[in-house]
Amino acid sequence: MPPTQNSPTQFPIRIKKHLKVVAIVFTILLVCGFLAFGISSILRYILEPPSGIEQPTLTPTKWSWKPFVENTTLTKDLPSAASCGKRIVGYYTEWESLEITSKQLRKLTHVIFLFVAIYEDGSARFWNDHGEDRFLEMKKAAAELKNGLKVMIGVGGYMVSPRFGPIVADKEKRKKLINDTIAIIDEHNLDGVEVFWFHPAASEKRDYVKLIKELREGLSILEQTKKRAEPYILSIVAPKVTAQLKDGYDLDKLLEYVDFIDVLTYDYFNVPTSWGKRKLGPTAPLYGGNEINVDETMKYLVCKTGKPERINMAVSFYGNVWINVKNPIRGNDIWRDTTTDHGAVRWNEFEKSGFNKSDALWHEKSKSSYIYIPESKTFMGFENERSLKEKIIYNRRRNLGGFVIWAIDQDDEDYTLLNVVTSAELCSSDTTDIVKYDC
């Protein structure tokens, strides 16, 4: 009789089958356990290597300059200057009252927020919450454009420039400054940084090169970490006075690491004369003034470096005012010795400050605009549409890299001055590196 479901002879057979299944399952679990342990050990070794084992480090890639323009799809919405790699750089400040707009940003190739301050210990951070809020508003407005505009920060500034020297001379403080700067770029997904040191002394020349070199290397490593498609932008400012340029700037070495130099070609009246006096006169004369002018500055830089495409000329959106000018202003004799202080008036505050833009006079020799009020013996030198157009002609003829604007938030609500600069036809048939000066 065949065994039934309840037959006692079936139990040994069932037990053998169950033991076989258990053995197979146990073997599988044991193998999986060893595999899991092995994989986790390997990962732990890679991520947290034992003491005494060096972790793999990224090596800075060799940086070499190339023109800004690459993606024609993006640059079609930028100013025409971008089509040949020229620049319209705009400074946007933390202390002005007007807020940035998308219309302004569309007129630029680069926007730089001023400033991230530096401190004695080498740290770098925004001055205060107000400044950071203005920066975040700028960044948000720029991100919404999606047109290839480059967004940067300026580190340093006029007020804190004396802190640079002691910082860069100290290895640890210099490292702190570089790390803090790179951390801000990383956190906010920025395109680069401008070092606003105004200006290094002759004794600080070597340390300045160290700072720029190490900052470029740090940016290179960040590029690799983030798998960034294009290099971060690194720029510096330079003063207008050639004696200062000769003292504190190793231009050839600096240009091994920076993309461009923004030359602060305004406020020429602050240049001391050989008699220890100062001159009032045009804010930024192209020519004249005993050769203390924009042409002299730009010629020196281009002839010294041989790289006109890396040099940007600055223009200012404000006027400089003196009262009680002793001698009347007549004809070409516009410069005056002065011991009095001057004041600054933003372009968007001319009328409120009592200046009528239609009263502007023209100084042909310096290609400059000014207002002179005989009754109050008041003189104001400034840029307007006419003087800016002369600078555009000069910029193109001399094959320079473009313009930097101090500052876009000083323009009027119609963007009168910005419209002139951004419409500049800076492109020509010449290649970017041809020097157009008789050096």
- 200 Ramachandran zone, left/alpha/beta (phi>0; psi -120 to 50): beta
Per-residue confidence (pLDDT) for residue 324, from 0 to 100: 84
Whether residue 18 has pLDDT greater than 70: no
Name which residue leads in pLDDT, 75 or 89: 89
pLDDT tens for residues 187-239?
A: 999 999 999 999 999 999 999 999 999 999 999 999 999 999 999 999 999 99
At 219, the amino acid letter reads: L
pLDDT of residue 9: 34
Per residue in 142-155, pLDDT (tens digit) is 999 999 999 999 99
Quote the DSSP letter at residue 2.
Answer: -
Question: Which amino acid would we find at residue 375?
Answer: E
> How confident is the model at residue 156, as a pLDDT?
98
pLDDT in tens, 56-75: 568 888 888 877 654 545 55
Three-class secondary structure of residue 361 per DSSP: strand
Lowest mean pLDDT across 43-57, 204-218, 372-386, 395-409: 43-57
Q: Where are the domains of the chain?
A: 79-422
With beta carbons less than 8 A apart as the criterion, state whether 285 and 367 touch: yes
Res. 76 pLDDT band, cuts 50 70 90: low
CATH of 79-422, one of 3.40.50.2300, 3.20.20.80, 3.40.50.620, 3.30.457.10: 3.20.20.80
DSSP, res 125? E
- Top pLDDT among 432 and 10 is at 432
pLDDT at position 6 is 36
- Euclidean distance between CA atoms 28 and 30, whole angstroms: 5
Q: Classify the C-alpha dihedral 397-402-404-410 as positive or negative.
A: positive
Q: How high is the pLDDT of residue 39? A: 37
pLDDT, mean of residues 35-63: 51
Mean pLDDT, residues 346-350? 98
What's the pLDDT at 27? 52
Residue bearing the bigger pLDDT, 426 or 269: 426
**H or E segment and range at residue 393:** helix 385-397
Top-ranked range on mean pLDDT: pick from 67-76, 86-95, 271-280: 86-95
Q: Look up the pTM and report it.
A: 0.85
Amino acid at 65: W
Provide the mean pLDDT of the chain: 86
Phi–psi pair at 30, nearest 5 degrees:
-65, -45
Least confident of 204-208, 263-267, 335-339: 335-339
Task: State the Cα–Cα distance between residues 358 and 323, nearest whole angstrom.
Answer: 20
More confident residue, 77 or 397: 397
Q: Any idea how long the chain is?
A: 439
Task: Select, from the ranges 41-45, 99-103, 375-379, the one with the highest average predicted confidence (pLDDT).
Answer: 99-103
Contact 98, 409 (CB under 8 A): yes
Whether the pLDDT of residue 343 is over 70: the answer is yes
d(CA 395, CA 286): 11
Q: What average pLDDT score do residues 409-424 get?
A: 97
Higher pLDDT, 55 or 148: 148
Residue 361 has pLDDT above 60, yes or no: yes
Longest distance between any two alpha carbons in the chain, whole Å = 138
pLDDT band of residue 326 (cuts 50, 70, 90) is confident
